Amino acid sequence: MSHFPQSLSIGATGSATRVITDQTVRDFASLSGDTQPLHIDDDYASDTRFKRRVAHGALLVGMISAVLGVKMADDSFTVIFLGLEVSFTSPVYIGDEITAKCEVIETREDKPIVTLKIACGNADSEEVMSGRAIVYVDPHPVNAL
């Protein structure tokens, strides 16, 4: 029978908000190697369906990772991604304020595995990404849970 920290029990939530700046997108492009002009070139982006630059979808996934690893985890355990399923529903533009949210919807009895509903939304309360994450709750030190 698995025991879960309060921050990862059913119904627990975590969130974080940040503004997606030009520097954020450029840093992510450099780090990931995804230098697609849609993300970093204003002139190129102006001729696309979006009419302006958009942030990388993977940047939103990174925000979810930060909520799980920093906001919902603590020094007694580590959260390890086992699976991730996301849908991107609206573009994220430079200057958008994005809130990443996670909510625990299921825990396993036989293993320390948690399923979460995940989403990102902008300041206009428009959902820009939604999905599910499955994580392993790894105690630190090992066998502490």
Model pTM score: 0.92
Question: Mean of the per-residue pLDDT values for the chain?
Answer: 94
Q: How many CB atoms lie within 10 A of CB 36?
A: 12
Residues in contact with 23: Cβ distance below 8 Å, sequence separation at least 6, in sequence order: none
Q: First CA to last CA across the chain, in angstroms? A: 11
Give 1's pLDDT tier (boundaries 50, 70, 90): low
Q: Say if residue 2's pLDDT is above 90.
A: no
Rounded CA-CA distance 121/46 in Å is: 23
For residue 134, the number of C-alpha atoms closer than 13 Å in the C-beta half-sphere is 8
14 closest CA partner among 100, 129, 76: 100
